[in-house]
Structure 1
Amino acid sequence: MDLPQFQAVERAVRTILPNIDGIDVEVNELGEVELKLREAGIPMPARVLSEGTLRILGLLALTGAKEAPALIGFEEPENGVHPRRIQLIAELLKTRAALKETQYIVTTHSTLLPDLIPDESLYVFRKVAGETEIRPFQAWGPLAKQQEIEASLDDRGEPELLVSERILRGDFDA
């Protein structure tokens, strides 16, 4: 990664993790690459960083690649990440997807992340008769959205539910 790309990744890290001052990459006496993040000027080796910080750093490093990969798979980006940072991750994923350089496949058990991603980008995976079924979220038809459900039922005055609330309620389970 050249200097402008490195600096772009460093800026992105500071956006998502504002307590980070910068990134240091050095080669030690054994020829191993050592990664450190600086917080308040103090370098912290990668081995003491949280899983969430490392996940974010990995995703950002991939987005800063000189030649964009055709496909990036990212399993559960919410793991180890503060819930307030999930929105920033969702924005990053939407921005990168809009560039149409790389296809992103993201798996999640998060109840927050699906609310932050456009419906046309969501797919529901579930077991049906021992086999995995994959369907676009929109394939659930007009009753996939809470306002459609409420319009079809008697007027109980219930507030609109977010996708996350519907996941927790079990609307998409077999």
Structure 2
Amino acid sequence: MNKNFENSRLKGRIAEVSINGFRSLKNIDRLSLPQLTVLIGANGVGKSGFIRFFEMLGWMFRSQKLQEFVLRNGGGDDQFFMGSRTTPEITAEIRIHTERGYNDYAFKMAHLSAGDTCMLTEEAYRYSDTSKHTEANWTRLRAPAKESALPEQKNPTAKTIHRLLKQCATYQFHDTSSNAAIHMRWDISDSFQLRADGGNLAAVLLDLQQTSRPLYKFIVRQIQRVFPAMDDFALEPSSGKVLLRWKSKFSDKIFGSHLTSDGTLRLFCLITLLNMPEERLPDIMFFDEPELGLHPHAITLVCEMMRRIAQTRQLFIATQSPYMVDCFDLENIIVANAVDGATELRNLPAEKYQQWLDDEYLLSEIWLKSPVGVPL
């Protein structure tokens, strides 16, 4: 059995990707992706654009809503590197590694000026057995179309690709403004999975409190490691809805989410998500700057949980936090840099950088040794 799947529930993982022309990703060629990928780089170098690409795939395959993704993200022209006049076509190829071989998916996308949207002009998939030294021919799908044709396919390879890529879930708990979803009363029935923005956190916690009391108590204890003033959550359903509130160890007062710091709210979301039952987590999880607003001790705790989750899930973490970088290994790191507006992404090969670690440099020190984030 391949070591990538030994003692793992993963049915497949994204092993390699090529992206040309999507936002700042002008030319990403056959980038190797470990099961736990930590994308590091300064502001504006394209880390979020990389995550948005896979978020787009999730929208394409989960409910065939490519057009909605495009509209929610600035329109069609904004998806192309420097605009569609400069880059008339987006192309991409994703390689999914399973126990038996490689499942490849490729597509091309063009801009539609009418409605400022996008159209898939080509789609194809193939399966190549790792025991053979040649790659299979592509099976091409109907095109052009405004939505992917892959979900309609009955072929086992197409089903494998669709099943995995539709699970691409991006978690970003940044919005804690007064109108954010996490402050709203939430339907208690929406509690199986935590939403990408954490809006249904109260409903998820209430469900765990009622159906998995030991796990719920464990989550509270983990939060208390960083936020010792907290005693417990105060989750009281009313008319089928519940509001996020918590109790202090030092007062009888019940605190609502509006009286809770932004960093603490994000901590609630992260620790709950990373301790959910396995069957309630997607196979591929993306985190965009999860360190925002967290104390260094909280970052270390969250990273410990991420490393554990990555034993059975594929995780992508975009960060610019030295504290977070130092929680992972050289093999996990991909460095992002920007040259003339285009994102460059590269792995840090062990044979080149291991000596720095042997000399007791931290990963963050290696990254910060030069303006581009790698040693001169």
Give TM class, smaller chain.
0.7 to 0.9
Distance 1:54 1:126 in 2: 31
Find the counterpart in structure 1 of residue 305 from structure 2: 92
Between the aligned partners of 2:266 and 2:257, the Cα distance in structure 1 is 11
Match of 1:156 in 2: none
Note the C-alpha offset of 1:35.
1.0
1:125–1:134: 8 Å Cα contact kept in structure 2?
yes
Counterpart for residue 262 of structure 2? 51
CA separation of 1:163/1:28 partners in 2, compared to 1, >3 Å: closer, same or farther? same
In structure 1, distance between residues paired with 2:348 and 2:260: 35
Mapping of residues 79-158 of structure 1, within 5 Å:
79-98=292-311, 100=312, 102-138=313-349, 141-143=351-353, 145-146=355-356
Alpha-carbon deviation of 1:115?
Answer: 1.0
Relative distance call for 1:12 and 1:84 in structure 2 (3 A) is closer
Deviation at 1:145, TM superposition (A): 4.7
Inter-CA distance 143–39: structure 2 relative to 1 (3 Å threshold): same
Q: Partner of 1:165 in structure 2?
A: 365
Mapped partners of 1:123, 1:145: distance in 2: 18
Counterpart check, 1:77 vs 2:290: yes
Count how many residue pairs are aligned between Structure 1 and Structure 2: 160
> 1:39 maps to which residue?
248
Cα distance per residue 1:24-51 (max 9 Å; x no partner): 222346x542111222154221122122
* Structure richer in helix, relative to its length: 1
Q: CA RMSD in A?
A: 2.7
The sequence identity of aligned pairs, in percent, is: 27
Check the 8 A contact 1:76/1:109 in 2, yes or no.
yes
Counterpart of 1:24, as a letter, is A
Whether the 8 Å contact between 2:223 and 2:271 is mirrored in structure 1 is yes
Give how far 1:146 is off.
2.1
* C-alpha distance after superposition, 1:109-162 (max 9, x if no partner): 1111111112222211222453322222336x41465257x7xxxxxxxxx432
Which structure has the higher relative contact order (CA within 8 Å, separation 6+)?
2
Change (3 A) 1:16 1:97: farther
Q: 1:155 — aligned with what?
A: none
Structure 1: gaps (5+ residues)? 151-159
In 1: Cα distance, 2:246 partner to 2:370 partner: 40
Contact 2:357 2:363 in 1 (8 A): no
Q: Cα distance 1:11–1:143, how it changes in 2: closer, same or farther (>3 A)?
A: closer
Counterpart of 1:22 in structure 2 is 232
Could you say what secondary structure the match of 1:59 adopts? helix
Give how far 1:106 is off.
1.4
TM-score (norm. length: structure 2): 0.38
Q: What SS class does the counterpart of residue 234 from structure 2 fall into?
A: strand
